[in-house]
Amino acid sequence: MTAPSNETIVVKVGSSLLVNEDASLRRDWVQTLVSDIAQRHADGASVIIVSSGSIALGARKLGLKKGGRASLSDAQAAASVGQIALSSLWSELLAEHGITAAQMLLTLDDMENRKRYLNATATLEKLLEHRAIPVINENDSVATDEIRFGDNDRLAARVAQAASADRVILLSDIDGLYDRTPGSETEGQIIGLVEEVDARIMAMADGSTSSGLGSGGMISKLEAARIANLAGIEMSIISGREDYPLERYALSGVGTLFKASGNANARKSWLGGGLTSAGTIMVDAGAAEALRGGGSLLAAGIITISGQFDRSDVVEITDPDENIIARGLAEYNAMDCVKLIGHRNSEHEALLGYTPRSAVVHRNQMVLV
C-alpha cells in the first residue's frame, strides 16, 4: 500500500528491461511493474510511462546487427516493428487493471517548437484528466539524426516538464549513480542523494550502458537530471532488474535521488527566461486576482490586447494599472484573442469557427512575475 497521492509521476523504462535475448518481451517483469503503477494510480497519482525498447525488439525480430543501430534506416525500420508489440504489451497489461493506455510518439521538435509543445501538453493534460496512462516513446521511425532526442532519459525529463510532473523515475539495469574515480576499475559506492549535477557528478558518468541495448547511459541520465532539476522536478535512478521495482524502491530507498531545484518557481521559469514578449494582455481586477491565485487566463476577464503575437508566443499579462502580473504562452494569435475579449468559454467555438482551447493562457504555461 502506498499513501494517497495526487502527484504526477513519469516512469521511464529502459530497453534492456523490456526485451529478452530471444526477441521476446519480458512480459512477467513488466506485469509486476504495471501492478506497482496500477497501485499508485488507484491511490490517486497520475502516471506517464516513457517506454524504450522498440529498436531493440524490432532489431531482434528482423535479425538486424548491432541491436538495430548500425544505420539510421535500420533503427527506423526496427522501431516500427518493435513499437507495435511494445504498445500492445502496455495496453494489455494496463487493461488488466482497468486502466486505459494512450500511445504518444514524440520527436524533439514536439518539445522544442512551442506551438507543438502546447499541443503535446494539452493532449497529456486531457489524457491524465481522464485517468488514462500515456505511454510515450520517441517517434523513431520518422525522427532523423538532427531531430532525435536519441535517448529516452532526456525525453522523460522533457515530458515531465511538459506535464508539470512532480517526479521522474528512471528504471535501469544499473541501480544508481556510483561514486567512482574516472579510469579506475573498481566500483565505488552508490550515491544516495545528489543536490546538484555539477562537474564532479558529471565526471562519474562514463557514457556507456551496461547492456548496450539502449542509447542512454549515465551521461544522458545526468543530463535528464539537469533538465528535471531546473524544472523543479525530482528524479531518481533505480534498478529495474527485480520484480515490483517501484514498491522495492519505496521500501528500500536504494537508488540515486536527484533533488529538485529549491526555487519554487523553477518549474516554469524556463518559459519566460530570455524570451521577449510579443504582446500584452490587460485583464480586469477579478481576472488578475484569479491569476495570482493560480488560475488560467480566461477571455472573459480580458480588457485589451496589444501586439501582433502568434499562437505560442510569449505574452505579458497586466492588471488594469499596467502592472505586469505574469508571462505565458498564448494559446491563440492576437486576432483570435481580440474576437474572444469579454466572452465566456461557451461562446468561443461560435466566435472562432473551430474547437477552442480551455484558456487564453493556461496556468501550466504561465509564470507569475
- DSSP E strand stretches across 223-301: 234-239, 256-258, 279-283
214 near ligand GLU, judged by CB under 6 A: yes
How many CB atoms sit inside 10 A of residue 228's CB? Answer: 31
* Residue 138: CB minimum distance to ligand GLU, A: 4
Site for ligand GLU, residues 260 to 319, rule: CB under 6 A: none
Q: How far is the CB of 127 from ligand GLU (least distance, A)?
A: 20
At 226, the amino acid letter reads R
**3-class SS at 164?**
coil
CA–CA distances in Å: residue 201 to residues 193, 219, 254? 11, 10, 18
> Is the C-alpha dihedral spanning 112, 86, 31, 190 positive or negative?
negative
Assess 215 for contact with ligand GLU (CB under 6 A): yes
- How many residues line the site for ligand GLU (CB under 6 A)? 14
Binding mask 145-174 for ligand GLU (x = CB under 6 A): ------xx----------------------
- For the bound state, the minimum distance from the C-beta of residue 269 to ligand GLU, rounded and expressed in Å, comes to 27
**Nearer Cβ to ligand GLU, position 218 or 302?**
218
For the bound state, the minimum distance from the C-beta of residue 227 to ligand GLU, rounded and expressed in Å, comes to 14
Question: Nearest approach, Cβ of 2 to ligand GLU (angstroms)?
Answer: 27
Q: Within positions 100 to 139, which residues make up the interface with ligand GLU, using CB under 6 A?
A: 137-138
**Exactly one of 56, 136, 238, 283 binds ligand GLU (CB under 6 A); which one?**
56
Q: How far is the CB of 214 from ligand GLU (least distance, A)?
A: 3
Write phi, then psi, for 104 (nearest 5 degrees): -130, 120
Strands (DSSP E) contained in the chain are 8-13, 46-51, 101-106, 133-138, 167-172, 178-179, 189-190, 193-194, 234-239, 256-258, 279-283, 302-306, 314-318, 324-329, 366-368
55 is a site residue for ligand GLU (CB under 6 A): yes
- Nearest to ligand GLU of 152, 239 (CB atom): 152
Which helix or strand (DSSP H or E) is residue 110 part of?
helix 108-112
- Pairwise CA distance, residues 325 & 16, whole Å: 47
The residue with cell 514498491 is 247
With CB under 6 A as the contact rule, the residue among 216, 232, 255, 272 that binds ligand GLU is 216
Judged by CB under 6 A, the chain residues 10 through 29 that form the site for ligand GLU are: 15
| Residue 140 touches ligand GLU, criterion: CB under 6 A | yes
- Using CA atoms, how far apart are residues 354 and 177, in angstroms rounded to an integer? 49
Binding site for ligand GLU (CB under 6 A): 15, 52-56, 137-138, 140, 151-152, 214-216
